[in-house]
A = this chain, B = another copy of it.
């Protein structure tokens, strides 16, 4: 049985590797609001238990065992987020911290029943894919909104940054998962972009926002 802190470290390594960055000690520390020295200790312990490979001074890589555990945690986190938003009526910007606690409840049967209860969803309220029981992720071919050209019409598939501020901003502009947008113009000066939702009038999005919106062809 792993402790909560051990699970958190594995999740952090997984999350950092996901984004293409390598999982360096200081990044993990920042991610978990702890100190680099504590992370080093933990990486050694987790390496001994076989969840990851720790190359001193060159960061950490998950083993198959570690990756599988991380995917189970992601699965639990996203299922609970889905429950909180769809069943209990939380806003999508409020659920992260609570789901963070719930994902550490240990019971395979619980997660399987929750999954069934929610209708075995493939995506969470932020549009992120939910791994299945075996850790398989359903992939979609998405791109970032800031890589789109004027004239394209796309649907919002996911938000890749779940800070409260961004989620509330999107909410206030009426941008949800599934919203369809036409890209009208991209300004070279600051990378900002004029978009027009299917229903409603056009407005502008800064690059900071469009960078974090994953879109797909409608």
Contact = CB atoms under 8 A, between A and B. Distances in A.
A105 B110 contact: no
Contacts of A97: 107
A113 B98 contact: no
Interface residues of A, number: 19
Question: How many subunits of this chain does the assembly comprise?
Answer: 2
A114 interface: yes
Interface string A72-100: 00000000000010011110001001100
Contacts of A217: none
A101 B102 CA distance: 9
Contact of A105 (B88, B102, B109): B102
B101 A88 contact: no
A57 interface: no
A101 B90 contact: no
A88 B110 contact: yes
Contact of A117 (B87, B107, B117): B87
A88 B102 contact: no
Interface of A: 84, 87-90, 94, 97-98, 101-102, 104-107, 109-110, 113-114, 117
22 contacts: A84-B110, A87-B117, A88-B110, A88-B113, A88-B114, A88-B117, A89-B113, A89-B117, A90-B109, A90-B113, A94-B109, A97-B107, A98-B105, A98-B107, A98-B110, A101-B104, A101-B105, A101-B106, A101-B107, A102-B102, A102-B105, A105-B105
Please provide the 10 A-B residue pairs with the shortest distance between their CB atoms, ordered closest to farther. Answer: A88-B113, A101-B105, A98-B107, A98-B110, A88-B117, A102-B105, A87-B117, A89-B113, A88-B114, A98-B105
